Structure 1
Amino acid sequence: MIDPLDIRTAISTANEPYILRNFHLDWEIFRLTFDDWCQRMDKHIRNEAVQFTSGTMKHCDIPYWERFRTHEHLTFSEFTKKSIGDAFNDRWYSHSYRDILSWPESLSKSISFAKLGFENTEDILFWLGSKGANTPCHYDTYGFNIVVQVFGRKSWLLFPPKTPITATRVPFEESSVYCKQNFYSPADMDQFGDIGKNQDAFEVTLSPGDILIVPANWWHYVENLETSLTVNTWIPLNVKDSLARLGECFVRMQIEQITADDSDFGNEELRKYIYNPNEMNEPDLNLMNLFKPLADVVIENTKNEDPLDSQETLSRGQEIRDKYHSTFHKVEPVSHDRFRQILLQNSVRHEHALDERKINGMRFQEVENVINAVCHPKTVDSACQLYLQQIRNEISKNGLVIK
């Protein structure tokens, strides 16, 4: 058995995706069938229906944003029957981004990442969906991702941070930077430019029991190949995350200012277009009052080198991954031909008649362009670094102490 502290080091220092295979997590859910889990869930919530997000298998030539999706209430057993009976031929259904605390206590308590070296992990989520359920391509601004496949198979496309993918902050969701490329139903291949030409496209199919490590800031597009249940958690990176939180605060300030008066559109149409649905009910905050304290945390955290960035720690992580190569499987890039083949397979989902969805959003295009200019990751980073330098100069000049 590998020492959990060694696994923690190997995972935390991985700057490329890895799959851990043949690694036994002693979770009770792995002793159940999918049908058993659904029945346990229904019994726990007294057979009440829960909200599923739904989408058509066909789509237009822009990413399948949440604003295009509908909602339907189903019990877990109803979802199972429909998915097994091929009732979802024309639609996919998803009940995802949900806290495992909604599970029966006997199941949720057994979910632990301690064997991977991470005690007391918070924000453990589960993702349930039928074939075709997908998450648009994005990267997470906080932490790195540990993904455990429980039931079914799921496809991942991953790309390093410097891949020439076109970032967009519309729709806005804190901690998620989406991209304009449509991986679900592309109408043309030109939008992908040089992506995949320089060994920067990585394809992974997760099967039950597989554990995927998604390094910080890696782009990823995720889609169910069949009815699937996944559990994941994000592991914080204190130094990097503090700067990312400052950046996300800056982005939200800009977007709230730009969308403060949508009287030209009426009925909050602009806000519904700009914000992801899960952001619409977020409480109002005085972001200016948060910005300086967040900057103080960044300055304090960056006084010393991040231990994870030390050459000694990085070398130790690689040494452990090499030693236990039968467990740590490095994900290799696919050829450009294979990448194009994936896109061409997905392109059959494009339905020109649905492109009216894009046309309906054209009247917000100028606002979106302004947001993407002001809130582009490079712009945000430059603005935050300039602000931090101003604070450091004041500290140096006045001998101030950060409280």
Structure 2
Amino acid sequence: MASCSPDPLQVRRLIGCFQKPLVFRGLIDTWPMLKFTVSDWKNLFGENLLECRVGIKDAKSDEPQWERQSYNVKCTYDEFIKWSENCGDGNINELSGLETSKHFLYYGYKYMKDTFDPEVLQLTNWKAFGYPERNGADSTFWLGTAGAHTPCHYDTYGVNLVAQLSGRKRWILYPPEDSNFLQPTRIPYEESSVYSRINFEKWAGTVPNIEGTHPHVVELVPGDVLFVPRHWWHHVRNEELSVSINTWIELVDEDHEARLHESLVKFLVAHTSRNLPTDVLSELLNPNEEDIAEAHLDDIQQLVRYTLKATVAVTKEKISEGYSDVPILSEPWILPVMCNQFPSSEPEKKKTRSDHVHSEVGTLDVIRAFCHPRVIEIVSQILREEFNT
């Protein structure tokens, strides 16, 4: 345990107002899962089948490897570990027929309450961060082999706490002001996720030098908890077999506006999806959002009304509790995530207008433009102005 344990309310205030990523150390030393061995995890999962995503390591394509472009296999934890242990020797996996050295396995973004028994949920708690009511029931679980990753994106709601339980996980983070340089897109559509169209796996193991951006890089080790501030971009990659748990924390005032933005995007996607052929629709939607094509449009219209009303009604006040009382650099339990001043790779080249011709503009390009965060922000402002008149 850290020699100077902070007051949980002090940590909570910090999470509520600090605008840069931080690593907390020594605050989850009491979590039993932090000391789990492979045998402990095996006993926990037993012979249950885990539905895992299979993806290509170090894919060099122009766009990220979207979830739609990978596929799923079901395996036991034993089989998962066998895949991980063979990932460097070129073995062909019996489950998939794929070479394990070229493919990763990811059991990620799983709600713990849907995966584990109630007593297991009590092994995770966030009380040291000022949230004593939160445990595994409010958390998600991530288990992945080396090379498993998520495309660069930011979460539209709240802030994020990520606890590293085993293995090493590398995070590359960018502040919200870098958004225009990261080519934001809502396609493939997934609620609360704005993706970057840049494929970070082209620079696997290095930091992309994307013109105009300010990457912050950190490698989490067991016991670390990363604080990801609101709307910070992040690309996440397992450097080895890794287990982590996270919880998303709502920011009440800020999230009202985010919900309005999300409802507007959902409105556009739901209406548009009614008239798309199957092949185009599959590119528009992430697999977990396929039901939006069958959603009742009146319900989505009502969602827009509700979120607009909530946004107009809320009185936004600046948080009076600053973090001036927290000496960030001197506390032993806080490690600031520093900006990487000297990226080691070549700059990402922007595409010029001559790279495209008008005949190449397709349906998804038009939908992407209408759903762009800048457009949604303007639509949101106009609606709020009209609602107030």
Q: Which TM-score bucket, shorter chain as reference?
A: 0.7 to 0.9
Residue of 359, 363, 367 corresponding to 2:363: 367
Preserved CA contact (<8 Å) 1:141 1:175: yes
- DSSP-derived class of the 2:245 partner: strand
Q: CA RMSD in A?
A: 2.4
Pair 1:212–1:233, CA change in 2 (3 A) = same
Match runs of 1:51-70 below 5 Å: 51-59=51-59, 60-70=61-71
Pair 1:70–1:325, CA change in 2 (3 A) = same
Q: How far did 1:104 drift? A: 3.6
Preserved CA contact (<8 Å) 1:136 1:178: yes
Q: How far did 1:279 drift? A: 0.6
Partner of 1:247: 261
Match runs of 1:133-212 below 5 Å: 133-163=148-178, 164-185=181-202, 193-196=210-213, 200-212=214-226
Structure 2: gaps spanning 5 or more residues = 92-99, 349-358
Preserved CA contact (<8 Å) 1:11 1:213: yes
- DSSP-derived class of the 1:15 partner: coil
Taking the aligned partners of 1:232 and 1:208, their CA distance within structure 2 comes to 13
Partner of 2:354: none
Partner of 2:34: 30
- DSSP-derived class of the 2:200 partner: coil
Preserved CA contact (<8 Å) 1:158 1:202: yes
Pair 1:162–1:323, CA change in 2 (3 A) = closer
Partner of 2:97: none
Q: How far did 1:365 drift? A: 5.4
Equivalent residue letter for 1:139: Y
Q: How far did 1:254 drift? A: 1.0
User: Within the alignment, does 1:280 sit opposite 2:290 as a pair?
Assistant: yes
Structure having greater relative contact order (Cα 8 Å, sep ≥ 6): 1
Pair 1:160–1:258, CA change in 2 (3 A) = same
Partner of 1:291: 304
Q: How far did 1:7 drift? A: 1.0
Taking the aligned partners of 1:222 and 1:58, their CA distance within structure 2 comes to 13
Taking the aligned partners of 2:360 and 2:266, their CA distance within structure 1 comes to 18
User: Within the alignment, does 1:382 sit opposite 2:383 as a pair?
Assistant: no
Pair 1:35–1:322, CA change in 2 (3 A) = same
Taking the aligned partners of 2:302 and 2:118, their CA distance within structure 1 comes to 39
Equivalent residue letter for 1:48: N
Pair 1:299–1:321, CA change in 2 (3 A) = farther
Equivalent residue letter for 1:388: R
Moved over 3 A (4+): none
Pair 1:95–1:24, CA change in 2 (3 A) = closer
Taking the aligned partners of 1:52 and 1:146, their CA distance within structure 2 comes to 23
Q: Deviations over 1:305-357 (max 9, x none)?
A: 1xxx33x412xx2422437521111111112333x27x99xxxxxxxxxxxxx
- DSSP-derived class of the 2:343 partner: helix
User: Within the alignment, does 1:269 sit opposite 2:279 as a pair?
Assistant: yes
User: Within the alignment, does 1:238 sit opposite 2:244 as a pair?
Assistant: no
Preserved CA contact (<8 Å) 2:62 2:198: no
Task: Count the aligned residue pairs.
Answer: 354
Q: How far did 1:192 drift? A: 6.3
Taking the aligned partners of 1:48 and 1:156, their CA distance within structure 2 comes to 30
Preserved CA contact (<8 Å) 2:147 2:239: yes
Preserved CA contact (<8 Å) 1:35 1:80: no
Preserved CA contact (<8 Å) 1:139 1:217: yes
TM-score normalised by length of structure 2: 0.85
Taking the aligned partners of 1:364 and 1:291, their CA distance within structure 2 comes to 33
Partner of 2:142: 127
Preserved CA contact (<8 Å) 2:86 2:101: no
Question: What fraction of aligned residue pairs are identical, expressed as a percent?
Answer: 29
Taking the aligned partners of 1:161 and 1:58, their CA distance within structure 2 comes to 26
Partner of 1:347: none
Q: Deviations over 1:37-70 (max 9, x none)?
A: 133212xxxx132211001225222101111101
Structure 1: gaps spanning 5 or more residues = 345-362, 394-403
Equivalent residue letter for 2:176: P
- DSSP-derived class of the 2:151 partner: strand
TM-score normalised by length of structure 1: 0.82
Taking the aligned partners of 1:181 and 1:323, their CA distance within structure 2 comes to 33
User: Within the alignment, does 1:115 sit opposite 2:121 as a pair?
Assistant: no
